[in-house]
Amino acid sequence: MNTMTSKNKETQRGLDKLTADMRPQDAAFMRRQFGRRSFLKGAAGAGAGLAAAGMLGASAFAAPGSLINAMMERAQTPMPLPDGAAPAEEQIWRITSDPAFAKSLDFYETVYNRAGGADLNSEGLVRMNRNFEIIPATAESWSGSEDGKTWTFKLVKNLTWSDGNPVTAADFVKTFQYAADPDHAWDFAWFWSGNIVNFQEAFEGKVPVEEIGVKQGADEYELIFTTVEPAPYLPAKLIYSMPLSKAALEKSGPFYNSKAETAVSSGPFILEEWIPDQQVTLKRNEKYTGTMNVPIQKVVAKLAAASTAFTMYEAGEIDQMEGMAPAELKLVNDDPDMKKELYQGVGDFACYYFFFDTTIEPWNDIKVRQAFSHIVDRDAMKQQIWDTQANPAPSFLAQGFPASNVDALKDIQKFDPDLAKQLLEEAGYPDGKGFPAVTITQRGGAAPLEVATIQAYASMIKQHLNIDAEVQSLDRQAFYADMKKIPLGFVSYGMDYFDASNMLGVWLSGGRHAWSNKDYDAKVNEATTFLGDEAERTAMFQEAEKILVSDVPAAFTFFITPNQLVKSYVAGPALEPDKNGIAAIHWPGYATMSTVPEEIWIADSAPKDRS
Amino acid sequence: MGKQETMTTTTTAPPKLSASTLLSDQANDRAMQKSRGAMQQALSRFRRQKLAMVGLVIVVALMIFGFGAPLLAPTGYADANLMDANQFPSSAHWMGTDTIGHDFLSRIMYGTRTSLLVGFAAVAVSMLVGIPLGLLAGLRGGATDFVIMRIIEIMTAFPGLLFAIFLMTVLGAGVGNIIIVIGLTSWLTLCRLMRAQLFSLREQEFIIAARSLGATETAIAVRHLLPNALAPIIIAITLAIPSAIFAEAGLSYLGIGINEPTPSLGKMVADSAPYVRVYWHLGVFPTVAIGLIMLGFSFVGDGLRDALDPRQM
């Protein structure tokens, strides 16, 4: 996975058990996912059309055989490079990757410690295109049972691993069993816990992993998932399903993809060389049989701290970067050539916020929380810190995300220092007197944008409430492990799949934060499983979000709009506007869970002998 | 080099001193006058050194600059106005403002205060640990010395920075903790120096004389050994202060030192890294401040060494 994905996702999720049984089940998800948004207006692309057909019909989806055949044919004959592309040997995609997190190339090995270039060694059942639509990858069709609890995926036949073995249901079964294996202690197990039958039980060691609800169907090209509750969103959630090779896992053990000798791939790339703390190089998997036409021939992830990315980009050592410091963005904007290489994306619709432990003093007093939410001067932050890298977030669901309602909610936590002072006085702390010292906890390795925002908030607490606020940094792992016990902290959450139930599920009782609200739980759960009218369902989610914003478990601060720098010689549809007019390499970036690998190449204007 | 010299001189002056103390108060007074004379000589030697005086001026100026911050600084260190952020030096903000909108001059002043405070206090901690242990090892010798020296060897073998990081992680960030941590990792030199001094002094004739006249070990230690071992210790302390300040800057640079919004020069340098190409003042001023502190104390330390150097007597 490229830096964009690993960095974003890594930063956005807690290691805490955000179990899926807290995540609402969405009976109407499939039917609505695309109808609800305006994405399909004028949708013409085959993938989008197909996806829509599948979503809007019964809970079944099938790509016509002709399309699959066409895809297969394309993939199996060497694809001529697009017009204006540099010759094959120049098709190198170079990115950076933080060496601190570079441990594996496989999602099902570790999510939080993937190196750059991860998730190119196999392809999941589905992937996501630029318009956040789910399209087939290893699965050619799927269908759900009447009760929405049994999901059958038909795999594309004739897909093979680089060692010659076919890609079959057995690989997926083995991968999910490995994910649920308590000895493996996978760092992302919460994602499937309580969702797939027996996954949580197996992870807790109560039942053998063979009993989880991921099994082979009638033949080796049929895969069946069974879920605890009706789960029509399951296909969307399965963008995270890049399998490990059963044969390689049994033969070479975990981390077989971290060594070139044992690497096995069914994806477009395979490990060529991994020099620890220096570079991960992936070469083309010559035996790739999948459905993507990938122009890039080599992926190079240079292992360097994120803070050096900008310098490396300027020096022409990498082709793309994300996460500039505010002053770096200013340098870009002051340079007409570089400014042309700047793209503003939406990332994964992540919201960054200051959260309170609402179970302890003084944060259990809503007036205190309100006071602390009315002093966030988002407009000043936008002007002085974020610029184009983020937008003010007076609420939780970002513009463009399903059920987003920013305009209607923007006054609830609006910047109003006088009101804040008054609320603080009503709470018994006139002019901040008697208020305990405040410590804001930030996660280790926070990006410059985050750091500046947190420090600005600390100074606003002092300025408007006359309360001393200190900022402390906590090691990432400790931060996520103790998140519910942090009195006041700063964190973010971005989507894993494109539905309001995903983002709002984070705030359900017993979930990621200490806050608990029965009305909110009821509303979110009701909306998630609601089968009726689309607009009505959206309205329910919006009501839930209103409860969330009004009860102030957090002072919502900014929606990230990641700014990317992409060299001018990088070409392809990935950089053209999507249906919402947003041009940027979309989340989840250069990985097989996305269509980005086939939508990007190096133009012949690129300097020769890049390495 | 210097150590060897020190030993020879201490032998020449002190025997009279030790004898006289045991004789009469009058003699004692005379001896005091003599030692005061020596001190005055050292002072005048110190004053004659231009660099040392420059160093002293720098140190005194920085102390006024830093410890006077609450009175002299334009604003408090936590006061900020985001709308004033990222300004270059001007008549309103002599050193500009930082990314949050703090007045940068105020931040530098309070940062200097933090650095000096850490420097002095951490060295005090290392004195409290190092000197008694050095005395103990040097006086008792034998098993006590063996144990203390092995502790020192173990701690020397273990990288100081790593140990400091470990301690900071356990104790948590904060000015108090960083003082303790730096003190606890920097007492080795003082301890070893103290011990070496005592070892060389212990066998001198005036000590043997005192012992044969019936002086207790404690009296010998306090009245004869400590004053004679003091000069190199004073020099070591002076030079330990900038090291401690630099250690704080290093730890803060790594993000495990002092929490925002308490300013620290090291942290200011670290924080400026992504900004310095546009906002040069964010990097230049704290770097210059650290440089001046280091320079000032180093000059004073060198001057003291030369002033107390017996070759000049």
Q: Is B177 on the interface with A (CB under 8 A)?
A: no
Inside any domain, residue B105: yes
Residue A588 CA to residue A97 CA, distance in Å, equals 15
Cβ count near B176 (within 10 Å): 12
Averaged pLDDT for residues A396-412: 94
Of B102, B172, B260, the CB nearest to A471: B260
**Residue B227's domain spans which residues?**
49-72+93-312
Report the distance separating Cα A589 and Cα A574, nearest Å.
10
Which residues on chain A place their C-beta less than 8 Å from a C-beta of chain B? 307, 310, 325-328, 330-331, 377, 380-381, 383-385, 439, 444, 448, 451-452, 454-456, 458-460, 462-463, 468-473, 475
Q: Quick check: B106 contacting A, CB < 8 Å?
A: no
- Is a pLDDT exceeding 90 seen at residue B110? yes
pLDDT in tens, A412-427: 999 999 999 999 999 9
Asked if omega into A553 is within 30° of 0 (cis), the reply is: no
> How far away is chain A from the Cα of B132, in angstroms, using its nearest Cα?
35
Three-class secondary structure assignment of A129-160: CCCCCEEECCEEEEEECCCCCEEEEEECCCCE
Does any domain span residue B118?
yes
- Banded pLDDT at B41 (limits 50, 70, 90): confident
Task: Write the ipTM.
Answer: 0.76
Q: Where is A94: in which H helix or E strand?
A: strand A92-97
User: Which of A330, A459, A558 is the mutation pick for testing B, counting most B CBs within 10 A?
Assistant: A459
- Note whether residue B20 is domain-resident: no
A554, A376 contact by CB (below 8 A): no
Task: For chain A, give every domain's residue range.
Answer: 19-82+134-249, 351-560
Identify the CATH number of the domain in which residue B304 sits.
1.10.3720.10
Q: What are phi and psi of A162, to 5 degrees?
A: -65, -15
The model carries a pTM of 0.79
| Statement: residue A32 has pLDDT above 50 | no
Question: Quick check: A459 and B273 CB within 8 A?
Answer: no
Instruction: Say if B15 falls within a structural domain.
Output: no
A9 confidence band (pLDDT: 50, 70, 90): very low
pLDDT of residue A48: 36
Query: A10 falls in which pLDDT band (50, 70, 90)?
Result: very low
Residue B100 to residue A470, Cβ atoms within 8 A = no
Q: How many domains does chain B have?
A: 1
**Average pLDDT in chain A:** 86
- CB-CB under 8 Å, B99 with A385: yes
Are B255 and B168 contacting, i.e. CB atoms less than 8 angstroms apart? no
Between B173 and A286, the higher pLDDT residue: A286
Q: Is residue B98 part of a domain?
A: yes
Interface mutation target, options B260, B262, B264, B281, chain A, most CBs of A under 10 Å: B260
- CATH superfamily, region A351-560: Dipeptide-binding Protein; Domain 3 (3.10.105.10)
Q: Burial letters for A229-260: b for 16+ Cβ neighbours within 10 Å, e otherwise? A: bbbbbbbbbbbbbbbbbbbbbeebebebbbee
pLDDT at position A482 is 82
CA angle A354, A355, A360 (to 5 degrees): 140
Residue B126 near chain A (CB below 8 Å):
no
CATH code of the region A19-82+134-249: 3.90.76.10
For chain A, say whether B80 makes contact (Cβ under 8 Å): yes
**B241 belongs to a structural domain:** yes
* B85 reaches A (C-beta below 8 A): yes
Are B258 and B174 within 8 A, CB to CB?
yes
Query: Residues A168, A220: contact at Cβ < 8 Å?
Result: yes
Interchain contact, B260 vs A328, CB within 8 Å = no
Listed range (A82-96, A169-183, A396-410, B226-240) with the worst mean pLDDT: B226-240
Is there a domain that residue B251 lies in?
yes
